[in-house]
Amino acid sequence: MVTQRELPAGRYGSRDKRRGPRWVYWAVLAVFVVAGLVVAYVAYVNLGDGPITTESASYSVVDDGSVKFGFTVTRDDPSKPADCIVRARAGDGDEAGAREVYVPAGGAQRTVDTLVHTSKRAVIVEVYGCSYQVPPYLKNG
């Protein structure tokens, strides 16, 4: 016959599981669900597609010190001008040149061509990013 051993209650606690009220469990669960939804929303807003997207259209190396680059800009608000930063990179991965490009208002989609001067031969050209916050020196020039 197998008997159950009695453990000292002072050392291990009693076997009676005391649980709090059931509503506490549901309240804590609700707080975690709401926190998860807030984190998901913030991630979606910050990591989702921005108001301006770009796509490379063409590029050609003119010489060891310059590259011609064309790209298409798509904006959610065509009435606003945009500022795009284009950068050229050399074969070793270094940034060989960069340029800010003014994209005037008008048209939800627009193709822009630019010439980027480089410190060494470029092997890739890319749009680093675009913004509706156009600095005054680009608007006037």
pLDDT tens figures, 26-48: 999 999 999 999 999 888 877 76
pLDDT tens figures, 46-68: 776 678 889 998 989 999 999 99
Q: Please tell me the predicted confidence (pLDDT) of residue 1.
A: 61
Looking at the fold, whether 38 and 95 belong to one and the same domain comes out as no
Q: What is the DSSP string of 54-82?
A: EEEEEEEEEETTEEEEEEEEEES-TTS-E
48 vs 120: CA distance, rounded Å: 34
Looking at the fold, whether 31 and 43 belong to one and the same domain comes out as yes
pLDDT tens figures, 105-118: 888 888 999 999 99
**Model confidence, pTM:** 0.63
Evaluate whether residue 4 is within a structural domain: no
To the nearest whole number, what is the mean pLDDT of the chain?
86
Q: Going by DSSP bridges, is the β-strand pair 109-117/66-75 parallel, antiparallel, or unpaired?
A: antiparallel
Evaluate whether residue 8 is within a structural domain: no
| Domains of the chain: total | 2
